[in-house]
Structure 1
Amino acid sequence: MHPLIPTSDATSILPTGAKTPPITVIGTEAIRATFDEQCLQQAINSRLAPGVTDLVLNPDAHCGYGAPVGCVLVSPTHVYPGPVGVDIKCSMSLLQLDLPADQIIDRPTRRALINAICERTPTGAGRGQRHAKKSRFVDETLGRQAVIEGASESVCTQLGIPPEWALRCEDSSHVGHDGTSAALGERLQRHLDGSFFRKFADKINQLGSYGGGNHFGECEIVHVEDNDRARAAADVFGLQDGKVAFLSHCGSRGIGHNLASGQFKALQAKFENWNIPLPGGDRELVYAPLGTPEADAYLDDMALGANFATVNHLLINALVLEAFQEVIPGVKGQLVYFISHNIARQEVVNNRMSWVHRKGSTRAFPAGHHALKGTIYESTGHPILLPGNPQAGSSVMVADEGAALSCYSVNHGAGRMLGRKAAIRQLDQKEVDQSFTEHDILTNCRQYPKDEAPAAYKDFDEVLRSVKSAGLATEVARLKARFVIKDGDQADD
């Protein structure tokens, strides 16, 4: 057993059994009970890996590949594909509409909106533009530009994305290992010249689409917290109390999966050929020292996948706005924020430039943080988008000074309580579907996926209580779902 030693109501430490500082754990007593032994062992394996100086376990943490989902890993000397994950730059985005909540009370309007969105943004693994009759076609030339440049003004303009939305992104574009986009162009061409991207055009056609699994689009009503700080932050963020917003969760689709899987295979082959010990004996915890060709290759591939994810999200939001305007003419929308939870970024940690790997973890810079200087978020901190579940709601938060404890990071959502197979085995389909009816939440699915049911996830309010009690962040607004778009067969009324 790995004992967690409480240090406050919502924090604890996990000793590693070695001569290293312990792991920082965020979570109340109830949340700590959700961490199983495998999750804790993965955290220890990750903390003891070469070059790692800090590891944080967030309240949504659960078992992942190599490193737990819901962790932060810091290293000034190495990069790790595992603590980024297979879905490079899986992210959240929020679109605020100037539409009062009472405009979507009736079910026919919501059903029309669901249909209009699904006609533009397909869902499901392997599905792309050809599966949605009103999607935005992206040819291979523009697709190459998008993965090299990210949300540049040129890319946004060609895709019908408001270019100013790039200013409301955690990162609107990513560069290669040497700080240039030219390195990404060379890396992409190398992939295209070989057999790595045999179906590159098909993968580019996934721009503007949701995947499967836990990815979703969700129509929300914004409820700003009733206090001065929340109202001030909401004003800066562009959140409008009592009005409709749209929350999206997806990542880099097939391109990101290809790039990440290729990196795992390449590094695992190196470890085997060179007989390098694996941290904890885990093949998913391979790594590369900075400055090596292997690290350069990983950083370039991560950036290519991240640029795809960025453009994918912004295009989805443009298509969602278009769908609302088709059903309710005259609606206007503004991107609130776009933020990742599967990425490695260079940040200053303990006065040292490091690579901060966030796997199922969200950046949380508070007001006054040096990285926000010159942005509209300098005096408030940036928005943190945390999905809970459709019935409990989702949250927009803002970081507090105490976020330094967690390397300026918070959770990325509620976190799973049941694995997918266990959820499918244990949950009753009729009860899952009935719960949505009782909450008057429509979906595009004939049957809501049991492995994505609210009961498969941790108690979101307890997760948020952990974050608040630990002094990491404060809630600005709660988002209440009115309809959900998931991977599933089209439903009707």
Structure 2
Amino acid sequence: MAKLKLRGKDLIEIGYPQKGKVISIAIDAMLKHYRRERKDKVIQRLKSVLKNPEKYLGDGIFGKIAEELTTPVHIEAKQLETKRAPFTIFGENGIQEEAKHQLYTALKLPIARAGALMPDGHAGYGLPIGGVLATKNAVIPYGVGVDIGCRMCLSIYDIPASYLEGHKDKYVHMLQEHTKFGGFETHRSINDHEIFERTEFKEIPTVKKLFKKAYRQLGSSGGGNHFVEFGIVDVSDVNNEFNVPVGKYLGILSHSGSRGMGANIAKHYTKLAIQQTPLPGEAKNLAWLDLDTHDGQEYWLAMNLAGDYASACHHDIHKRLGKALGSRPLAMVENHHNFAWKEIVNGEELIVHRKGATPAQKGVLGIIPGSMTAPGFIVRGTGNVHSLQSASHGAGRQLSRRKAKQTITQSDIKKQLKDHGVTLIGGGIDEAPMAYKNIHHVMANQTELVEVVGSFTPKIVRMDR
């Protein structure tokens, strides 16, 4: 069948207004979703939307056309405010100036209401890594990050920690056999999961196209700093919420996100945000989507789906390894970062972005990892309002990936691993332990944000490559 040919005059003839952007929006949508359909059928669809646009508000394909017909979105260049919204920086002396300036720019957005920077902070795109920003009725895709819903997940098993050394080959084989990394490794057998029944996969066109990729990548981990580790869990708080007696246990810790699905969602909606809220050059990547618009609502649904998908991936990883262990976990502790939540800040509902920051509301548990040779910590949030109830999401980089590759050798890494009794499967020079800040210094700079409940010491680490 020939490709659909649709012109502006075709829409004007059936009554579409020439003013505004509705004609270009309609043509783009039809060519994208109905490019092989007969022109008369497409025109009939567009007539139906024009006749009753309210009926189509929220529709995955026609919603944006309907929105423009009912309440046209006026795009104009946005200017930054001269004053910053209130903010607090934790561990300021250990944070690069570039990361601080990225936060300062974000705080001048007209939608910004409050912000914070965690002690593991370093430069990123848009918001810095470790950046927290509360906005009014708007979400910033690059304030969430490319790896939407990236998260930590820890399973604690009633297996003596000494088994890791005594049966090391067995655990190395488990990681090699039951974990997959990067853009191409996938499991031969995919486990069914209720996430794939979600209506977003059917109703949001951008997400619908990602279904097959998401299904194929379930239970796998990304590249970069993503990992799955066997290690020693040391529970130190007798009053821990997960009811595990004080002592040392075998644990599995994973770090990964929403894989290709989240990355594609981030790319698509960042492009829309930049088109809809153009900003000065230094703030370009902080473009936002108004939550009262079709695209804003669609991104919010897609973001939450990606976050739940990231959680499903972790649960699948832990389920596979638990089956190989032949044991059920005593407890599981997990948390998102790279996400946005609706929360009450200073008596007002705001959108709190945590890009590389751990939720730390009072009593909420989370995990803050170190590096492959440094311990991570199970923590309990204190609900500190100055950090917008957040804490660091890890040790944070002190060397960029490029700098790490230029200054660190494989011999340096091997010595570090040997000194700490760690076995590494995969992993690049850019993820060397020396590329990260001292986790103990980072934790010392956030004692008012979290309480330590226990620790996790890596012993067998699997990463990409």
Coarse TM-score class (shorter-chain normalised): 0.7 to 0.9
In structure 2, which of residues 198, 206, 220 is the aligned counterpart of residue 191 of structure 1?
Answer: 206
CA distances 1:324-366 after superposition (whole Å, capped 9, x unpaired): 22xxxxx331442221011101111111111111100011121
Number of aligned residues: 386
Amino acid at match of 1:449: G
CA distances 1:348-390 after superposition (whole Å, capped 9, x unpaired): 1111111111100011121xxxxxxxxxxxxxx1222001113
Partner of 1:416: 397
2:377 aligned with 1:395, yes or no?
yes
Are 1:238 and 1:336, in contact at CA under 8 Å, matched by a contact in 2? no
2:317 aligned with 1:336, yes or no?
no
Question: How big is the shift at 1:85?
Answer: 0.1
Query: How do 1:181-260 residues align onto structure 2 when only pairs under 5 Å count?
Result: 182=199, 184-188=200-204, 190-191=205-206, 196-197=209-210, 200-225=211-236, 230-233=237-240, 236=242, 238=244, 241-260=247-266
Amino acid at match of 1:396: I
Task: Determine the C-alpha separation between the residues in 2 that align with 1:465 and 1:346.
Answer: 29
Are 1:88 and 1:305, in contact at CA under 8 Å, matched by a contact in 2? yes
Gaps of 5+ in 1: 1-15, 131-135, 150-181, 326-330, 367-380, 489-493
Are 2:399 and 2:436, in contact at CA under 8 Å, matched by a contact in 1? yes
Question: How big is the shift at 1:76?
Answer: 2.7
1:65 aligned counterpart, secondary structure: coil
Task: Determine the C-alpha separation between the residues in 1 that align with 2:280 and 2:117.
Answer: 18
Are 1:421 and 1:451, in contact at CA under 8 Å, matched by a contact in 2? yes
Question: How big is the shift at 1:21?
Answer: 4.1
Which stretches of structure 1, 4 residues or longer, exceed 6 Å deviation after superposition? Answer: none
Amino acid at match of 2:415: Q
Partner of 1:123: 181
Partner of 1:137: 190
Question: How big is the shift at 1:187?
Answer: 3.2
Partner of 2:407: 426
Question: How big is the shift at 1:307?
Answer: 2.0
| 1:87–1:418 CA distance, 2 compared to 1 (3 A) | same
Gaps of 5+ in 2: 1-79
In structure 1, which of residues 440, 443, 458 is the aligned counterpart of residue 424 of structure 2?
Answer: 443
In structure 1, which of residues 78, 94, 98 is the aligned counterpart of residue 138 of structure 2?
Answer: 78
Are 2:85 and 2:107, in contact at CA under 8 Å, matched by a contact in 1? no
Query: How do 1:283-294 residues align onto structure 2 when only pairs under 5 Å count?
Result: 283-294=284-295
Structure with the greater relative contact order (CA < 8 A, sep ≥ 6): 1 or 2?
A: 1
| 1:289–1:393 CA distance, 2 compared to 1 (3 A) | same
Query: How do 1:347-426 residues align onto structure 2 when only pairs under 5 Å count?
Result: 347-366=343-362, 381-401=363-383, 403-426=384-407
Question: How big is the shift at 1:240?
Answer: 5.4
Task: Determine the C-alpha separation between the residues in 2 that align with 1:147 and 1:25.
Answer: 40
Question: How big is the shift at 1:239?
Answer: 6.6
Amino acid at match of 2:273: L
2:147 aligned with 1:87, yes or no?
yes
2:224 aligned counterpart, secondary structure: coil
Partner of 2:13: none
Task: Determine the C-alpha separation between the residues in 2 that align with 1:289 and 1:127.
Answer: 37
Amino acid at match of 1:462: H
Question: How big is the shift at 1:400?
Answer: 2.1
| 1:202–1:21 CA distance, 2 compared to 1 (3 A) | closer
Amino acid at match of 1:350: N
Task: Determine the C-alpha separation between the residues in 2 that align with 1:207 and 1:461.
Answer: 34
Question: How big is the shift at 1:125?
Answer: 2.5
| 1:33–1:486 CA distance, 2 compared to 1 (3 A) | same
Task: Determine the C-alpha separation between the residues in 2 that align with 1:310 and 1:240.
Answer: 27
1:82 aligned counterpart, secondary structure: helix
2:370 aligned counterpart, secondary structure: strand
CA distances 1:194-228 after superposition (whole Å, capped 9, x unpaired): xx54xx42432111011110000111212233xxx
Moved more, 310-319 or 120-129: 120-129
Amino acid at match of 2:360: A
TM-score by length of 1: 0.74
Partner of 1:110: 168
Matched residues, percent identical?
30
Amino acid at match of 2:450: A
TM-score by length of 2: 0.78
Question: How big is the shift at 1:485?
Answer: 0.9
Amino acid at match of 2:420: H
Moved more, 119-128 or 312-321: 119-128
1:53 aligned counterpart, secondary structure: strand
Question: How big is the shift at 1:50?
Answer: 2.2
Amino acid at match of 1:486: M
2:124 aligned with 1:64, yes or no?
yes
Partner of 1:264: 270
Are 1:98 and 1:240, in contact at CA under 8 Å, matched by a contact in 2? no
| 1:58–1:110 CA distance, 2 compared to 1 (3 A) | same
Measured on the aligned residues, the alpha-carbon RMSD in Å equals: 2.1
